[in-house]
Structure 1
């Protein structure tokens, strides 16, 4: 499971749910939100979740100037480093939007792009049952499921997803544990 656009008001509840099910997730964080939620980031890290960059202000990175692109990446990396002591080595470009120039900026920073293989469309359908059924229907070995922890309906769908998929024999790991070593500038999965 991967969660974009946080941290936010529902992230702590999500961490409680993940703890209860002994599930690990990857969080792609908005840099401008990080300093207000440093304790949440520290909890993510201490519980074995992975932290990734999701830009500072959520623009389409392939449509901004080279200067803004660099700033979106670097400000967020620095905010995450200030909160937890390490910079992320993965980044999810907002909207999944990137081009060669964007990937080159990631490569220069030793970062890999992580997109998704299952889109729950939880931002469009604020309905926990629909979100759960999409996640479960799309699940395969190696699936990277896209969700957003800024929506209460998304967080409320997580117990259903974890229950259903654990019954089918799936386990929930970080992107790093799923993919292993990643090449900077490459796109996964």
Structure 2
């Protein structure tokens, strides 16, 4: 592969930009997004970036910089709205918070690569850039059972050399045209400072553009983050307005009819046309299909069904969930000291009830107590049998 990589020099060292952008030619020979927002490569044989949605009045809904230990309330909210998204995961974070990554797959979100260390990709050597992508793919495969086929460069920093390396790994490059800059809010290193009011104004611009007909021919992809409690709560606050302004909010892959988002063929998601036919924001009535080797774990099956009567079932094998400060079944106990959790209203150190989760985790050490219904137990038993058949 090395001999075929476009002969473009790294624009920095070890992921740190060198300032070459100040002297970079205005002709943009490398299709360097950081310099020109170029998305159509100039090197032969390199695929164009995905930067917009092909369907009108459609938003490619997604979030960068996950997973993290406090995103359960946010994912509960998305579940309550039957909404799926594209999650761009940092490889090192996947290894730190594997249960959260597993939950994303079990919930039906599309997972893409967001590099291992979240640094400027054009400032790496060929070998370093390869490692940033390949090790993240392996981490996601190890934790979830699936190998992504898409990626997003941190800060959008990509040129034809990096695109080619990603392409050889089977990764489509996904960028954006609209940025709410939530990741810069309240960051003292950002000049001029970005305030929450600025972020809300950026959301409002996208919503106003959708309402005014800007996306009547071609849809949009917007950059937002599950970086921290603030960015996730802001996403929750703006979700109803985005859903009202756009006809469809879908993962990027669904908008491109990418029914198999992973290398493994035992997982599928619906086409855009199927979602449109059902007039849903996303495929709540068309379940994501898991293969026999990668079905959701039992704890995920338990949370799929709403509870009616709630006898207690203690499963000691999940005792480490509380100790780790997270769970695919719900937010960690408030006594765990894991920190603030976003919720539909506000507040730190709160537990989100979610909608239709049907299971909560409590306690620590000896076991995790799950409150489930009789129907849930029957369905979970059937699901458990399926895991071993």
Which TM bucket (shorter chain)?
A: 0.7 to 0.9
Q: What are structure 2's unaligned runs of at least 5 residues?
A: 1-60, 187-194, 259-389
Equivalent position SS for 1:116: coil
Equivalent position SS for 2:115: coil
Q: Give aligned pairs, total.
A: 182
Q: Report whether the alignment pairs 1:144 with 2:144.
A: no
Equivalent position SS for 1:148: coil
Contact 1:2 1:145 (8 Å CA) reproduced? yes
Identify if the C-alpha distance between structure 1 residues 23 and 125 changes in structure 2 by more than 3 Å, giving closer, same or farther: same
Residue pairs, 1:51-62, within 5 angstroms:
51-62=111-122
Selected match of 1:24 from 71, 84, 108: 84
Selected match of 2:175 from 112, 115, 118: 115
Partner of 1:168: 245
Identify if the C-alpha distance between structure 1 residues 171 and 129 changes in structure 2 by more than 3 Å, giving closer, same or farther: farther
Larger Rg: 2
Equivalent position SS for 1:123: helix
Equivalent position SS for 2:65: strand
Contact 1:56 1:73 (8 Å CA) reproduced? yes
Distance in 2, matches of 1:20 and 1:128, equals 25
What is the TM-score normalised by the length of structure 1?
A: 0.88
Identify if the C-alpha distance between structure 1 residues 9 and 39 changes in structure 2 by more than 3 Å, giving closer, same or farther: closer
Report deviation, 1:129: 5.5
By relative contact order (CA 8 Å, sep 6+), the higher-ranking structure is 1
Report deviation, 1:164: 0.8
Measured against aligned partners, the alpha-carbon deviations of 1:134-189 in whole angstroms (never above 9, x if no partner) come to 224214442212112122111111222211122235332111012235xxxxxxxx
Measured against aligned partners, the alpha-carbon deviations of 1:109-141 in whole angstroms (never above 9, x if no partner) come to 111100112101001224655434422421444
Q: Report whether the alignment pairs 1:40 with 2:117.
A: no
Contact 1:30 1:58 (8 Å CA) reproduced? yes
Q: Report whether the alignment pairs 1:177 with 2:177.
A: no
Equivalent position SS for 1:55: coil
What is the TM-score normalised by the length of structure 2?
A: 0.44
Measured against aligned partners, the alpha-carbon deviations of 1:69-127 in whole angstroms (never above 9, x if no partner) come to 11100100000000111111000011101111101111111111001121010012246
Q: Report whether the alignment pairs 1:134 with 2:202.
A: yes
Measured against aligned partners, the alpha-carbon deviations of 1:22-42 in whole angstroms (never above 9, x if no partner) come to 221111111011122222112
Q: What are structure 1's unaligned runs of at least 5 residues?
A: 182-189
**More helix by proportion, 1 or 2?**
1
